[in-house]
Structure 1
Amino acid sequence: MKHIAFAGAVTVALSSLAQASTVTGDFGGTIGAPTGATNIIRFEGADTNRLDWGAQSSGGVVVPEDSSSLTINENPFSFDASGGGEFLLGTITWNNQSNFSTGGDWSSTVSLSLSFLNPTAIDLNESFEFSISNTPDGQPTAEQAELLGTFPDEISGFVLGASAFDAPVDLGGDLILDSVYFSLFDAGAASAYNSENGFWTNREGGTSTIAVYGSISEVPLPAGAWLLISGLGGLIVMRRREKQAA
């Protein structure tokens, strides 16, 4: 009975060591005001999660439904990290409209945030600059430009490095955030994204979404855990021999 009780205790201890936590938290961010515009630009929403630019009413007020926009889609995430793996943190959407006050070429800054709640409360942040080139539409009206989808606009520098968010990060619960990276999530024709150089294209009238993924791995079991495993195996063998002798 003593052997069985001890074996049960060891099994419980090993289960505790091997059990990975559920990772939960919130994804969000802000987009800065355009700088260095080479043409007239009208925009609103700077330093919020959505920047609108381009079309405006006769009073100079930006009309979001007729403007281009870049949106950091705020998202609560939850991931069963048993065995590690990749999971979706959130998305960033670019809606590209044809209009006359897009500013030509300009730059801005994206600031992303990851607020982990479980297994440990950790706040991580990453900022980077990007540039956008609003190409001439080549059509007499915005409707024609969006119908044909020619002359897609371009964003460059939209990239996360290998050490973004200070990765690798110990999240607690024997879990490591190895990396955070971008990947094209949803896009129509004439939209593409290169995760290596951050070059993103989107047709006139098109909507393109980039996914933000996290990669997590488990911390290997410590040497002491393997000793417990060996001990448990020995106890099982001894118990079987006792039964056979009896």
Structure 2
Amino acid sequence: MKFSVLSTVAAIAIAAAGTASALPTVMLDSVTSEWIAATPGTAANLTGLNAGAAPSSTLSWGTSTGYGQSNYNFAGVAPLPQEVTSFPFLLGDFSHYNYPITGTAIDSATLAVTIAGTIGGEAFSLTSSFLFNHDETTNDQNPCPYGDTSPCGDQVSFGGVTGATSVIVDNQEYILSFVGFQAEPGGSVLSHFFSDEYGNNSAGLYANIVPGQSFGQVPLPAGAVLLLSGLGALGVARKRRKSA
């Protein structure tokens, strides 16, 4: 089992951007997911695509050689609801089950994740899509491409994020960004992971919420301010006359 770690500078920058002190109370009420795309679409025995959003979703491919199909699974964090008290925060657990298969394998898969909850008591719902690039190696290569021994394992890497990535609550934008995999809570952020053949590998999928642009009230033009000031002064003068 191998993990690739992001640079220390990048990890420190992510941690600094995610301080909880800059945010109101964040409650996570639900996490659902759905595998919405896979390439190639002609992968052998591809199942689980566009199966509907659910707390847990599985994408399987390949013809079993007696051990079952290879698959990706995403299970949303539980139990819910829960207060988010540290940042980055866990969205759920991504798992890769790597079994020897025949037939065409996938090269990539896209997972849509929808989270709902509240920020400072205001409700939000946000959907983002996560692209996973997949390298299904030939098991009998020598040497293996990732330094292991035959049968060669496979690599899964994070390719990018698409879809909605921000929400506005009470005139304040909050930006949701995908951070990456962590092998264990509080561990280093990973750019990809490696799964041995005949085995499986799991990592937490983390996200972050940081304040973005603030949308305050639009200031009045200078002329309007002077007009309001003049009307206020006129009202005071009239009140004084009535009192006299």
TM-score bucket (shorter structure) = 0.5 to 0.7
2:45 equivalent in structure 1? 42
Distance 2:172 2:150 in 1: 45
The amino acid across from 1:107 in the alignment is S
1:206 match: secondary structure: strand
Distance 1:218 1:128 in 2: 21
1:114 equivalent in structure 2? 115
In structure 2, do the counterparts of structure 1 residues 86 and 108 end up closer, same or farther at CA, with 3 Å as the change threshold? Answer: closer
1:170 equivalent in structure 2? 168
Moved more, 114-123 or 148-157: 148-157
In structure 2, do the counterparts of structure 1 residues 56 and 150 end up closer, same or farther at CA, with 3 Å as the change threshold? Answer: closer
2:159 match: secondary structure: coil
Q: Percent identity?
A: 17
1:211 equivalent in structure 2? 205
CA contact (8 A) 1:158 1:200 kept: no
Distance 1:31 1:19 in 2: 31
1:50 match: secondary structure: strand
In structure 2, do the counterparts of structure 1 residues 100 and 178 end up closer, same or farther at CA, with 3 Å as the change threshold? Answer: same
1:30 equivalent in structure 2? 34
Distance 2:176 2:59 in 1: 27
1:60 equivalent in structure 2? none
2:62 equivalent in structure 1? 54
1:43 match: secondary structure: coil
In structure 2, do the counterparts of structure 1 residues 41 and 135 end up closer, same or farther at CA, with 3 Å as the change threshold? Answer: same
The amino acid across from 2:165 in the alignment is D
More strand by share: 2
2:30 match: secondary structure: strand
1:13 equivalent in structure 2? none
The amino acid across from 1:23 in the alignment is M
Unaligned runs of 5+ in 2: 1-21, 52-56, 142-147, 217-244
In structure 2, do the counterparts of structure 1 residues 216 and 138 end up closer, same or farther at CA, with 3 Å as the change threshold? Answer: same
The Cα of 1:50 is off from its aligned counterpart by 1.0
CA contact (8 A) 1:177 1:217 kept: yes
CA contact (8 A) 1:149 1:203 kept: no
Match of 1:186 among 171, 183, 188: 183
The Cα of 1:98 is off from its aligned counterpart by 1.8
Distance 1:113 1:132 in 2: 23
Cα RMSD (Å) of the superposition? 3.9
CA contact (8 A) 1:54 1:67 kept: yes
- Number of equivalences: 175
Distance 1:87 1:152 in 2: 29
The Cα of 1:160 is off from its aligned counterpart by 3.4
The Cα of 1:26 is off from its aligned counterpart by 1.4
In structure 2, do the counterparts of structure 1 residues 23 and 216 end up closer, same or farther at CA, with 3 Å as the change threshold? Answer: farther
Distance 1:80 1:210 in 2: 15
In structure 2, do the counterparts of structure 1 residues 110 and 80 end up closer, same or farther at CA, with 3 Å as the change threshold? Answer: closer
1:122 match: secondary structure: strand
More helix by share: 1
The amino acid across from 2:58 in the alignment is R
Distance 2:64 2:161 in 1: 33
The 4+ residue runs of structure 1 with deviation greater than 4 A are 147-150, 216-220
TM-score (norm 1): 0.55
Distance 2:112 2:212 in 1: 28
The Cα of 1:151 is off from its aligned counterpart by 2.2
Unaligned runs of 5+ in 1: 1-17, 58-62, 140-146, 223-246
TM-score (norm 2): 0.55
